[in-house]
Amino acid sequence: MDENFAFLLPVVLSLFGVAFLVVARYGNRAALFWGGGYLCAALGFLAPLLLAVLPVAVVALAADALFVCAFLFYSHALICHFNAPRMFALRGAIAMLGYAGMAVAVLGVDSLRYELFLSDITCGLLLVVAMVAVRLRLRAPVEKALFAAAIFVVLETVVRTLVFFYMAGSAAIDAFVGSSYAYVMQITSTIGALLLALTALASVALRVLDGHRRDAEEDPLTGLLNRRGFEQFIGEGGRSAKNDAAIIVADIDWFKSINDHFGHAAGDEAIREVARLLRAVSWPGLAVARFGGEEFIAYLPNCRLPDAHMLANTVRIALGERDLSGIGIDRPITASFGVAVTAAGDHTIHEAISRADRLLYLAKSSGRNRVVSNAADGGQPAAGPRLFVVRDEMSG
- Report the catalytic residues: 294
Query: CA of 340: how far to CAs of 207, 374, 378, 387, 392, in Å?
Result: 37, 6, 10, 11, 20
Q: Which amino acid is at 251?
A: D
132-137 long-range contacts, CB within 8 A, separation 24+: 133/78, 133/79, 133/82, 133/84, 133/85, 133/87, 134/78, 134/79, 134/81, 134/82, 134/84, 137/82, 137/83, 137/84
Distance of CA 180 to the CA centre of its chain: 43
CA atoms within 13 A on the CB side of 278: 31
Q: Per DSSP, what are the bridge partners of residue 46?
A: none
C-alpha–C-alpha distance, residues 158 and 176, integer Å: 18
Does residue 382 sit in helix, strand or coil?
A: coil
Region at 100 (left for phi over 0; alpha for psi -120 to 50; beta for the rest): alpha
Instruction: Note whether 186 and 9 are within 8 A (CB).
Output: yes
Instruction: Note whether 77 and 41 are within 8 A (CB).
Output: no
C-alpha–C-alpha distance, residues 106 and 169, integer Å: 15
C-alpha–C-alpha distance, residues 152 and 95, integer Å: 21
C-alpha–C-alpha distance, residues 83 and 62, integer Å: 31
